[in-house]
Amino acid sequence: MHDGGSNSKGLCNRSLCFFLLSSIVHPPRQNNFLLFFFLFFPTSLKQQVTTLECILTEARADVNINWMVKYLNLNGGVGWQLVLSASERDGFFGGASKPSTRLADPNFLLTGNFSLLLQATEQDAGIYKCLIEQERKTIKETVILLAILTVFQIPPSPVPQTSTLRLIAKVTPETSCEFISWESPDGTSLKTVLKPRAGFVAKVPQLTYDDAGSYKCAVHTYGSDTVFTFAVNIIVDAVSMASFTRVQHGPTIFTATQARTSVPLTCPTVLGDCVFLYWQSSSSSINKLVYHYDHWRGNTPSMESAKLQLAGSPYNADAGSFSFLYTPGLKDGGLYVCDVLVNDHIFSQRTLLSVLKVMARRLGSKLMLECLYSEISQVRDAWWEYQNERCPTKSSPGSVVVALPLPVTLDTAGNYTCTLRLKNGQTISAVHTVNTVAPSSHSSSPHLLLLPLLLLVPLVATTTAVLLRQQKRISRRGIEQSLSVHSGETENIYENPEDVRQDLKPRQADVYKELER
């Protein structure tokens, strides 16, 4: 029966912001009570006061007022303790439990305002009861549960840029709320996690100047839709930047893998806020950021690819447990640095990765088996083996080659193994199978080779037909000429044999005419 928004009073300054919620009177003998939240900043140098309301609307004479409390942070079932007593006849006759605790209105007998004023801390959480009696009869009883919402802001304002802002909220007693949520100045809900002994934690890693503003802390109560909202103003320093001087390095990992084979890139075994993966190739001295993920902001990694992704179980990136699965190519060897940010502390893990690739190509009358590898700085040796015996090879930085004569015979066919040995003693191997039919990088498909031959068939047939027709016309012309001579006379129309050959040879124009036909 209370509203956490309409009856609130607030006071904010640079170091402290708290809200007071107006009390609501309950009749005597009821088991329910008013829930009252007080926002408390332990880092504040100036103590703030809160008021627990108890007002008698009808002024009456000769009344007694008793404020009592049951502290919830005490074990052993401690009962009601007197906080303050007063009466019209005797004035204050019960000393307050704290010097700063008093009635809010000095003229309480005239105004009927018996509200209690106190400087609350986390230890003051408890059930408070305002009991007003007249002639030993209770005329009014107000029961209030004072819950202390303690908020920590780390680092304090003004917060340096690139810092990890931590907003921590804890309610005492814990049973007075179901959960606490945080909201950014732009209205975005922040990821909030309940951590033992700490409370409800929200973080904003890599803080920027645009992240400044009023952050809302919302307390959600059990069994009610009522939400108590408090504001915390965050100021971001416009100039200063956070310095990450605490960097803890793990031992460097030296490893190798085959190209297009998945390999883990291990990160520090801490629960972090965000992760950064950098790559430095052997030919460069610059660290290139290849992956970044912030599980508090919930951003989608824009650099995720088929080759590089966050590892799954037993890791959980959404909970801050990071590792990567990587499927590199030959040129992806180099130094990988995984940095995990925990608040303003960096944990770093370095992995030096070599990538191995084997391939075959035909060079003249030889079949060249090439074993290629990257990040040669950590490779001690590389060699080819055939039937458990080392092969004679030709080596150069990042390459070892064995030459096989062609054609491949049964004596040279089989499995050839290339092995790398790293300086730490680790070995990795890749196998290439050589068949009796040697592969050729210049070989073409049999169908493509037959295609030009098939296209020549109609052309040859057409040319032959043209020649035959031409020869037939020449023969007919010779017969006709021989029939036209006089009897007993002979005429040789060809003066020499070369004329015969020239006449039999088809002319170019005749060939094209026949082709057109």
Q: Render pLDDT for 304-321 as a digit per residue (tens, 0 to 9).
A: 578 999 999 999 999 999
Class of the domain covering 356-434 = mainly beta
pLDDT of 401-457, one tens digit each?
999 999 999 999 999 999 999 999 999 999 999 998 745 444 434 443 434 444 444
Predicted pLDDT at 88: 64
Assigned token pair, 59: 């002024």
Task: For tokens 């592969």, name the residue.
Answer: 439
Q: Is the pLDDT of residue 501 over 80?
A: no
Give 95 or 129, the one with higher predicted confidence. Answer: 129
pLDDT of 247-263, one tens digit each?
999 999 999 999 999 99
Which amino acid is located at 27 in the chain?
P
Handedness of CA 311, 317, 321, 324 (dihedral sign): positive
Q: Is the pLDDT of residue 53 over 50?
A: yes
CA 240-244-249 angle, 5° bins: 170
Residue 233: partners with Cβ closer than 8 Å, 6 or more residues away: 12, 14, 17, 157, 213, 214, 215
Q: Is the pLDDT of residue 165 over 90?
A: yes
Cα gap 128→143, rounded to integer Å: 6
Highest mean pLDDT among 44-58, 109-123, 332-346, 497-511: 332-346
Residue in 168, 167, 134, 143 with CA at minimum distance from that of residue 65: 134
Cα gap 486→479, rounded to integer Å: 14
Helix, coil or strand: residue 160:
strand
Assigned token pair, 268: 């520090």
Predicted pLDDT at 463: 45
Q: What's the pLDDT band for 511 if we cut at 50, 70, 90?
A: very low
| CB-based burial label for 90 (10 Å; 0-12, 13-18, 19+) | exposed
Mean pLDDT computed over 320-342: 97
φ, ψ of residue 270 to 5 degrees: the values are: -130, 155
Residue in 477, 453, 475, 467 with CA at minimum distance from that of residue 515: 467
List the single range of 81-85, 372-376, 454-458 with lowest mean pLDDT: 454-458
Give 60 or 301, the one with higher predicted confidence. Answer: 60
**Strand pairing of 126-134 and 63-71?**
antiparallel
Q: Is the pLDDT of residue 459 over 70?
A: no
pLDDT of 120-137, one tens digit each?
888 888 899 999 998 889
List the single range of 200-214, 272-286, 472-486 with lowest mean pLDDT: 472-486
Task: For tokens 């590089």, name the residue.
Answer: 308
Residue in 248, 273, 292 with CA at minimum distance from that of residue 342: 273
CATH of domain 1-242: 2.60.40.10
Residue 123: partners with Cβ closer than 8 Å, 6 or more residues away: 71, 73
Please state the separation of Cα 37 from the chain's center in Å. 37
Predicted pLDDT at 517: 44
Indicate the angle between helix axes 446-483 and 497-504, nearest 10 degrees.
Answer: 120
Mean pLDDT computed over 148-177: 92
| CB-based burial label for 496 (10 Å; 0-12, 13-18, 19+) | exposed
Q: Is the pLDDT of residue 175 over 70?
A: yes
Mean pLDDT computed over 337-357: 97
Residue in 309, 318, 255, 316 with CA at minimum distance from that of residue 277: 309
Q: Is the pLDDT of residue 489 over 90?
A: no
Highest mean pLDDT among 13-17, 63-67, 326-330: 326-330
Q: What is the share, in percent, of the chain residues with pLDDT greater than 70?
A: 71
Q: What is the share, in percent, of the chain residues with pLDDT greater than 90?
A: 52
Domain with CATH 2.60.40.10 in the chain: 1-242, 247-353, 356-434
pLDDT of 201-237, one tens digit each?
999 999 999 999 999 999 998 877 888 899 999 999 9
Class of the domain covering 247-353 = mainly beta
Predicted pLDDT at 483: 28
Q: What is the pTM of this model?
A: 0.71
Alpha helices in 71-118 (DSSP H): 108-111
Q: What's the pLDDT band for 37 if we cut at 50, 70, 90?
A: low
**Residue 269: Cβ within 10 Å count:** 13
